[in-house]
Amino acid sequence: MRCPYCGNDDTQVKDSRPTEDSGAIRRRRVCNACGGRFTTFERVQLRDLMVVKKSGRKVPFDREKLTRSINTALRKRSVDPERVERMISGIVRQLESLGDVEITSDQIGEYVMEGLKGLDDVAFVRFASVYKNFSAANDFRAFLTELDAQATPPLPEDD
């Protein structure tokens, strides 16, 4: 890191700690040439994610688009905005930790479905109807029947 006083590149970190929001690292530095002390704030920059659409087209990942689609599913539902933001941040972290720069729109959809399932049943079904491309009322019935079968534990057998 270049010293702001003398321009020397030879600086030394004396102290590092996360900022209050944990979004950056605060570093106290000292210049080995002039002895000047200064603070830097460094953010981790992860690779830019690319979304591979079903058509094969690639577009940059857009957190705002993800947020809009989730908020559309949650429209008029009383869900704490903090919980929604935590879910969105969790999805983004999962996508970033996959280790691949390219992710499919299906992967994103699955993570959103998983998150909404634990957040709000109605939003979950709303999102599923778009994500799974429901075209008739029977699609809803089949989906809800499958959902009930997964949620209902099997009855114990009589001996």
46-89 pLDDT per residue, tens? 568 999 999 999 999 999 999 999 999 999 999 999 999 999 98
List the chain domain ranges. 11-42, 50-151
CA 103 – CA 91 distance, rounded (Å): 12
CA 75 – CA 97 distance, rounded (Å): 29
Is the pTM here over 0.75, yes or no? Answer: no
102-138 pLDDT per residue, tens? 999 999 999 999 999 989 989 999 998 988 888 888 8
48-59 pLDDT per residue, tens? 899 999 999 999
Give the pLDDT confidence score for residue 7 in this predicted structure: 92
